[in-house]
Amino acid sequence: MASIGEQIRDARKAKGITQDALAEAMNVSRQAVSHWETNRTMPDAETLIRLSKVLEHSFEAASAVQPAAEAPENPPEETVQPAPVSPAGETPAAAVRPPRGKAPYIIGAAVLAVIVLCVCLFAVLALTGKSTPKERAYKYKSSVDGEIYTIERFRQETANEQGKAYLRVNPSLTVSRGENFDYWIFEIKYHEMNGIAFSINRIERVFFTEDKENTEQIFTASDIRAFGLDPEIPAYGDWSYQGGLPVQDIAIGVGVLLRGTDANGASLAFTAYIPLTDK
């Protein structure tokens, strides 16, 4: 089945419009349209709905977008797995009778120890919020102030300082199974802890993808009001932010940066990171 990018390209050509014309209708750059069509970046749920209206096209299900250079479309029906080879590159264990003695038990214990160590490492990373080496390779440069953000930076909590507002951040992710598409639905709940009101100035949302062509979206206080939300978080109050994205293989995660000013005039920023998985 055609990828989302291929469907956008085919629908645009069927309508007889150029990438420049589609970019103008969507209020994005021509490069953004080109990246959509080549699967280098991905339109989020809201943008995909707008595209379906502009192109007058109902997109078909494509829950996993594949980059251009992927495996052949018709892989062999059955893959023959090679026999296991010993660490020293000797004859496969299945072909000969294992030697007597303690050696097999020592090797088995070593393998088991490695597995346990890996499990513990991933558990520690999950509990402490540390990024994996792969995630640390992805960076985002804010188009507003030029500040550099990595996935690891999005995971870090803002310090709770006396006399300033503090938002407890609670992100969550669900998968919505649709007739045409599966969607990631993410929500970030905020709760003001210090009894000081907080005004949101803007939200910077970043989708991290495997090809590192990260997609940035910025929402101002006016945009937030247009969504039917109040950008003012009262003292000890709650506030939540939701977003959606079609499930796609090239997605890594979404980072959300919330900037604003508290009632005492302090400029503050609160970050959140949500790994994207279709599990």
Question: For the residues of 163-231, what is the DSSP string, one character each?
Answer: TS--EEEEEEEEEEE-SS-EEEEEEEEEEE-SS--EEEEEEEEEEEETTS--EEEEEEHHHHHHTT---
Q: What is the pLDDT of residue 58?
A: 74
Please give the pLDDT value at position 234.
Answer: 96
Please give the pLDDT value at position 79.
42
d(CA 212, CA 226): 30
Distance CA 59, CA 68 (A): 19
Displacement of CA 78 from its chain's centroid (Å):
33
Element (H, E) at 274: strand 267-275
pLDDT at residue 30, as a whole number: 84
Rounded CA separation 75/55 (Å): 33
Residue 83 burial (C-beta neighbours within 10 Å; 0-12, 13-18, 19+): exposed
For the domain spanning 138-275, the CATH number is 2.60.40
pLDDT in the model for residue 212: 62
16 SS3 class: coil
pLDDT for position 242: 87
Q: Rounded to an integer, what is the distance from CA 178 to the centroid of its chain?
A: 19
User: Do 12 and 19 touch, CB atoms closer than 8 A?
Assistant: yes
For residue 188, the one-letter residue type is I
Superfamily of structural domain 4-54: lambda repressor-like DNA-binding domains (1.10.260.40)
CA pair distance 172, 167, nearest whole angstrom: 16
Tell the residue number behind the tokens 């502009």, with chain if given. 54
pLDDT per residue, tens digit, the chain (279 aa), is 567 788 888 888 988 989 888 988 888 888 888 878 887 777 777 787 788 888 888 766 443 333 333 333 444 444 444 444 444 344 344 344 444 455 555 555 555 555 555 544 444 444 444 545 444 456 667 777 777 777 888 888 899 999 999 999 999 999 888 777 788 888 999 999 999 999 999 998 888 887 666 677 889 999 999 888 899 999 999 999 888 888 888 888 899 999 999 999 999 999 999 998 765
pLDDT at site 134: 47
Torsion angle of the four alpha carbons 74, 75, 76, 81, in this order, in degrees rounded to the nearest 10: -170
User: What DSSP letter does each residue of 229-269 carry, written as one string?
Assistant: ---EE-TT-EEEEEEEEE--TTEEEEEEEEEEEETTS-EEE
The neighbouring-strand residues paired with 273 are 255
Look at residue 170 in the predicted model and tell me its pLDDT. 95
- Which pTM does this prediction carry? 0.55
